[in-house]
Amino acid sequence: MRRFFSFISGAMCGALVGSVVALLLAPASGEELRDEIRDRTVTFRDEVREAYEARVAQLEAELDQMRSRIAKS
């Protein structure tokens, strides 16, 4: 679980650094830049949500597997 939180915090830090770099180096107008940042934020949020749900499903499957082994004993 600790590795998952480390991944999430690293991803958030990377997104923050990427956003700052995009703001500093972007040749686009302010409105275009805000739209792009909004789109990237939504995409990032969706990816994090999908990773979280996949990890939860994996852990639940492992827990069910362990419970069935204990029940057979």
Percent pLDDT > 70 in the chain is 97
pLDDT at 60 over 70: yes
**Greater pLDDT, 3 or 73:** 3
- pLDDT computed for residue 18 by the predictor: 87
**Could you give the CA distance from residue 38 to residue 52 in angstroms, rounded to a whole number?**
21
If one counts the domains in the chain, the total is: 1
- pLDDT computed for residue 59 by the predictor: 95
Q: Across all residues in the chain, what is the average pLDDT? A: 88
> Over the stretch 14-46, which tens digit does the pLDDT of each residue have?
988 988 887 777 676 778 878 888 999 999 999
Which structural domain range is residue 51 located in? 2-72
Element (H, E) at 22: helix 2-25
Q: Using an 8 Å Cβ cutoff, are 37 and 22 in contact?
A: yes
